Structure 1
Amino acid sequence: MTPGSNLSLKCKKPDSDHLMPQKWTYLLLKEGNSQPLQKHTATGSWAKFSLLLVTDQDSGNYSCKYLEFQNPQRESEASSALEIWVKDILQKLSLSALPQRIITPGENVTLLCHGPAWGMRFALYKEGDEKPMQIHDPIQDEAEFLLTYVTTNHTGNYSCHHHSDAVNQVMAQPSDPLELIVKGELDIPLRQALGSTTILIIFSCAIILFFLFLLAFCYHRSYIDIRG
């Protein structure tokens, strides 16, 4: 939740076998508070609690319970906790490279993005590109971006962002840039291609030189025969 938003929490008890309507008292609890935050009496199986204009002080774990209106001593166990966060900006994401950020052409590298998931996807950006290279759903609180058979074109600065199509979505700060460096010898297929091209050029030059030599030799013999 962003500060200033309104939040509604619905507390529902198990369906009752009573045929006649019965009043129940519902309590909203917050971890760390000795007294209920709110109390509602309703004839039905649920009650709604509202938190208006929330602030960061409203962050925490909430639960609820219900009890009989006529017999307050009989109450249920508390529900499982619901964690609520009220933040302007979530903590910054982090980005790391596995096995390392300096690699040679032809290798694979995994860029690991870590941070609060919050149900949003992770997106990998390369500096200079407007669109994300990859978008992944989070696995717990991280996502893996695999770059296969890298070339020197992969050299550059990468960053990780949360990605959401929702309007006014609370977003975490993007990660600091991670510089990926691809350097070293060319991969084998490219070396082979360059090697074959070099051999072809050398062979062609040798043939041209041979014919030039042969032409010069024939011209020289013809010149001698004429003068003789």
Structure 2
Amino acid sequence: MSMLVAFLLFWGLPMGPVTEAATFYETQPSLWAESESLLKPSANVMLTCQARLGTPDFQLFKNGVAQEPVHLDSPAIKHQFLLTGDTRGRYRCRSGLFTRWTQLSKLLELTGPTAPPPPVLMHRGESAQVLRPGNKVTLACVAPLSGVHFQLWRGEKELLVPGSSTSPDRIFFHLNAVALGDGGHYTCRYRLHDNENAWSGDSAPVELILSDETLPAPEFTAEPSSRNPEPGTRVRLRCLAPLEGARFALVREDGGGHRVLRFQSPAGTEALFELHNISVADSANYSCVYVDLKPPFGGSAPSEHLELRVDGPPPRPQLRAAWSGAVLAGRDAVLRCEGPIPDVTFELLREGETKAVDTVRTPEAAANLELTFVGPQHAGSYRCRYRSWGPNTFESELSDPVELLVAES
């Protein structure tokens, strides 16, 4: 077993604070470890800092301390830093941007020998997650190492599908024409090119559901039947199919398209989906579909939609710290804001301030909000909230505060 370096790498997709339809040019560089260096028995590690634009200037930071800047003879899109001696630590890099520097890269932490961490698998392209046969699907697998060999799996079977890459730490698997039977759970993993035994763990699964709409539409009812239920109550959505053992999907229809909220595979002919503690953010049109898990894997037409309209303010979120005690200077402070509502924008605010210090747009009902490269100036109390820009515009109240303490060493 080769010596590997473990990485704690946090992914996030920050958005602009006002209009999410605006276009922003990304300048943040990427930082990763070259996998070849991890196969060597020495402690040397090669880090690659890749800029968004060609530049002659690069700089590496270790444990919050800036290393000597590197000025190349001609502009380059990336630069490699060779680490020797004790390579354990927390690293970032930045690149030149005209007469200034870019923001710092995401945190990369080298923690010593261990197995490679799992990658992240993401579904790209289709806005509606109930797919039709013949659709094109792209699955992106992202690893915290570069120069690795990726695999894509559906269930317990490896898939040999074409892939492309725009960066050495990721691959895009292209399912050019999905067919009935291609639905199910997809995962990816990777290994170092020269070590067939050093496989990472599997990514979290992505589920695809396909329907050719040849089966009869299911019956879809709500309990209570009122289209204007009271805030804070529970709504049961019942989907009834004419066959047993089907795979059911609850679909929410809003301004962002059709999005699958939940899946169920009951033994009988119906699935019961429950919406708890409903609020204004649950206001939407809902429908359901089902697919046969046996050949020829047909799928139903969507049910008639049910409209829910709920009045009142959205529930307050909860803010949780991803650390205990004080945060070491030079690290990221990650706070998780959790709400009951998916597909919103989360904001982190310092106590007494009105401008968000971090903003994340996510299809999930929670988001990791980060204070990057913390120092004593970041100490204080923080709260979070979430908002929706449409089709139902709303903003939650602030969460209870979380105190951030910063330690020098």
**Structure with the larger helix share:** 1
TM-score by length of 2: 0.28
Q: Which has the higher contact order (CA 8 A, sep 6+)?
A: 1
Q: Which has the larger radius of gyration?
A: 1
**Structure with the larger strand share:** 2
TM-score by length of 1: 0.46
